[in-house]
Amino acid sequence: MYKGIAGSDGVGIGEVVIIKEPELKYERASALTVEKELERFNKAIEELVEKTNAMSEEVRKSAGEAEAEILLGHVMIMSDPALSDEVRSLISDGLTAEAAAEQVLDMFAAIYEGTGDELTMQRATDIRDVKTRLIKALLGAEDVDISALKKGSVIVVHDLTPSMTAGIVKENIEGIITETGGKTSHSAILARALEIPAVLSIDNITELLKNGQSVIVDGIGGEVIPDPDDKCISEYRAKREEHIKHKRELLKLIGCETHTADGIHAELVCNIGKPADCKDVLERDGEGVGLFRTEFLYMDTDRLPTEDQQFEAYRAAAAAMDGKPVIIRTLDVGGDKEIPYLGLEKEDNPFLGYRAVRYCLKNPELYRAQLRALIRASAFGNIKIMAPLVTCVDEIRAVKALVKELMAELESEGIDFDRNIEVGVMIETPAAAVIADLLAAEADFFSIGTNDLTGYTMAVDRGNHKVAYLYSVYNPAVLRSIKRVIECGVDAGIMVGMCGEAASDPLLIPLLISFGLNEYSVSPTSVLATRAEILKWSKSEADKVAEEALSCTTESEVKDVLSKYKK
């Protein structure tokens, strides 16, 4: 059995089909004139853009809008003048178009890869996908076509690229196994959209399995079982049936209100990265947006987005959600989230450095543009503004002062906006948790970012495998912190939400109910499962679990208690 990351849930039983990209061989020095070589490059780009636009249309039909956007992102990379100018310049120095494209795209990919952040690193995968396809187009090599795979196939591949996915006939594919990628990688997003079970990130799996071998893909437990015997197959068939039944049951919760078993109301909203994701939120019955990560607006271009461009994006999200709350986080740059054109200096400790609200307050022109766009968009829906990585009261005061000043400016320009727009604080540092009482007096709401709060509280760099065992929200230090933040917010009468991954963790839900969390912000795919969990618990039952969990002294004791009570 091989263990990987559970990328897309469900159980698939089928036959291995190993997909390998052909080796692409080419000369470095061009034997052609520079003009001829440039012509080859221009033609290849033109054809690739056309083909990718067509693929994106196919994916829109087979998987959905957000998945089609991934391929449109590839068109943007192909059409990016910063990239093509570099390639042309290397061609002018005598390189073949293939060698020039490889050098430039690898360089850009390396910048994104260096960040260590999964979402940013995803862009590196996109750039490398574009690189391979561009070189193939130049060499006249065929794209891998997986549309012809027969029923019952399990795709085993180094990385499932968006361009490969365009050809998938979902009825024929039992499962996907990859050597790279995590829960938020494009391979995972695409597999989930197609509802194909997937296990990701198993080293060397394309060598370990053989074509035609029988295999089980358990996308729930993140396991791959080669050559299963009859007993194992019937066990997993039962697991598959159970899963399908559970999903069908969850669908019944569409349209239901989210509350505890004894009727305490909770808001169940979603985390998004772009306005187009609102469609997923509504389809999955999310009750609003609890975190719109605006970094993507800044990452998807090679220069700062203008105030008007941002306004359009925020307005689109607010309008799509039609009066439901949309919490938009201001730019969370730095640390693991790098934006190359901002030219941030390398720092020894980027996670403790010049980032997020710190950077924004020191770059008022950039921050003013974003805040003006947000305030203007508030006229079109229920927008709330949230500041990331706050560590002291001065920061939230400064953000609020700027918002007030910009409101006066917009007023004098005769521009309409919501005069009661709320400004909240993201609680994701130990400092913010410790002074949660002071922050609660200034902020209109809290949202707990458990991804960072866990890392900063435990002083753990998530990218460092040697200390990864400490990165757990079940540590008493993190739980006490969460409890304190919620209690301070509740005491001050403000809304307290949670937008880190922990908000959809079924083990934690009784604790969050007991502490009094008002809002859960989860990925659209987790909405119904989270609603089902909240519905199971009454406050008094949850209190009992919380009391026992908080009396534990170690992380593993906490986990044992929570698992013992899991319903």
Known catalytic residues?
186, 499
Please tell me whether residue 65 adopts helix, strand or coil conformation.
helix
Stretches 11-19, 219-227, 444-452, 490-498: which one binds Mg ion (CB under 5 A)?
Answer: 444-452
Residues 464-502 as b/e (b if ≥16 CB within 10 A, e otherwise) read eeeeeebbbbbbbebbebbbbbbbbbbebebbbbbbbbb
Which CA distances in Å does 74 have to 56, 462, 554?
10, 29, 46
Return the residues of window 299-358 that contact ligand PEP according to CB under 6 A: 332
Q: Which of 129, 280, 338, 452 binds ligand PEP (CB under 6 A)?
A: 452
428 is annotated as contributing to ligand binding: yes
Tell me how many degrees the CA angle 215-221-223 measures, rounded to the nearest 5: 30
499 binds, among Mg ion, ligand PEP, none (CB under 5 to 8 A by kind): ligand PEP
Q: Would you count residue 350 as binding Mg ion (CB under 5 A)?
A: no
Please tell me whether residue 155 adopts helix, strand or coil conformation.
strand
Return the residues of window 463-522 that contact ligand PEP according to CB under 6 A: 499-500
In the complex, minimum distance from the CB of residue 497 to ligand PEP, in angstroms, rounded to a whole number: 10
In the complex, minimum distance from the CB of residue 540 to ligand PEP, in angstroms, rounded to a whole number: 29
Closest CB to ligand PEP among residues 164, 427: 427
Please tell me whether residue 177 adopts helix, strand or coil conformation.
strand
Closest CB to ligand PEP among residues 296, 417: 296
Alpha-carbon gap, residue 82 to 104, rounded angstroms: 10
480 is annotated as contributing to ligand binding: no
Instruction: Let me know: does 415 contact 380? Beta carbons within 8 Å.
Output: no
Polymer length in residues for the chain: 567
The residues, ordered by sequence, that sit 6+ positions from 524 with a Cβ below 8 Å of its Cβ are: 270, 272, 277, 280, 281, 283, 284, 286
Q: Which of 125, 165, 450, 514 binds ligand PEP (CB under 6 A)?
A: 450
In the complex, minimum distance from the CB of residue 127 to ligand PEP, in angstroms, rounded to a whole number: 21
Stretches 109-117, 128-136, 242-250, 428-436: which one binds Mg ion (CB under 5 A)?
Answer: 428-436
Q: DSSP letters along 363-379, please?
A: -HHHHHHHHHHHHHHGG
Q: Would you count residue 428 as binding ligand PEP (CB under 6 A)?
A: yes
Q: In what order do the strands lie in the sheet with 223-226?
A: 2-3, 223-226, 214-218, 11-19, 153-157, 173-178, 198-200, 5-8
Alpha-carbon gap, residue 168 to 160, rounded angstroms: 11
293 is annotated as contributing to ligand binding: yes
User: Closest residue to Mg ion, Cβ-based?
Assistant: 452
In the complex, minimum distance from the CB of residue 336 to ligand PEP, in angstroms, rounded to a whole number: 8
Stretches 137-145, 200-208, 318-326, 443-451: which one binds ligand PEP (CB under 6 A)?
Answer: 443-451
Which CA distances in Å does 464 have to 185, 319, 467?
19, 41, 6
301 binds, among Mg ion, ligand PEP, none (CB under 5 to 8 A by kind): none
Alpha-carbon gap, residue 50 to 36, rounded angstroms: 21
Q: Would you count residue 293 as binding ligand PEP (CB under 6 A)?
A: yes
Counting residues that bind Mg ion (by CB under 5 A) gives 3
In the complex, minimum distance from the CB of residue 451 to Mg ion, in angstroms, rounded to a whole number: 5
In the complex, minimum distance from the CB of residue 502 to Mg ion, in angstroms, rounded to a whole number: 12
Closest CB to ligand PEP among residues 378, 450: 450
Alpha-carbon gap, residue 495 to 403, rounded angstroms: 20
* Other beta carbons within 10 Å of 519: 24
462 is annotated as contributing to ligand binding: yes
Alpha-carbon gap, residue 448 to 430, rounded angstroms: 11
Alpha-carbon gap, residue 67 to 193, rounded angstroms: 8
Which CA distances in Å does 260 have to 174, 210, 502, 520, 541?
36, 49, 18, 13, 10
In the complex, minimum distance from the CB of residue 337 to ligand PEP, in angstroms, rounded to a whole number: 7
Stretches 205-213, 371-379, 412-420, 423-431: which one binds Mg ion (CB under 5 A)?
Answer: 423-431
Q: Would you count residue 449 as binding Mg ion (CB under 5 A)?
A: yes
Binding mask 376-415 for Mg ion (x = CB under 5 A): ----------------------------------------
Binding mask 41-80 for ligand PEP (x = CB under 6 A): ----------------------------------------
Q: Whole-angstrom distance between the N-terminal and C-terminal Cα of the chain? A: 28
Alpha-carbon gap, residue 180 to 314, rounded angstroms: 33
- Strand ranges inside 239-394, DSSP E: 267-272, 289-293, 325-329, 382-387
Alpha-carbon gap, residue 149 to 176, rounded angstroms: 13
Stretches 140-148, 166-174, 444-452, 557-565: which one binds ligand PEP (CB under 6 A)?
Answer: 444-452
Alpha-carbon gap, residue 97 to 258, rounded angstroms: 56
Alpha-carbon gap, residue 153 to 395, rounded angstroms: 54
At 506, which amino acid appears?
P
Counting residues that bind ligand PEP (by CB under 6 A) gives 10
Binding mask 160-179 for Mg ion (x = CB under 5 A): --------------------
84 binds, among Mg ion, ligand PEP, none (CB under 5 to 8 A by kind): none
The residues, ordered by sequence, that sit 6+ positions from 28 with a Cβ below 8 Å of its Cβ are: 95, 96, 99
Closest CB to Mg ion among residues 141, 344: 344
500 binds, among Mg ion, ligand PEP, none (CB under 5 to 8 A by kind): ligand PEP
Q: Which of 428, 501, 505, 541 binds Mg ion (CB under 5 A)?
A: 428
Q: Which residues bind Mg ion (CB under 5 A)?
A: 428, 449, 452
Q: Which residues bind ligand PEP (CB under 6 A)?
A: 291, 293, 332, 428, 449-452, 499-500
Annotated binding site for phosphoenolpyruvate: 293, 329, 451-452, 462
Annotated binding site: 293, 329, 428, 451-452, 462
Annotated binding site for Mg(2+): 428, 452
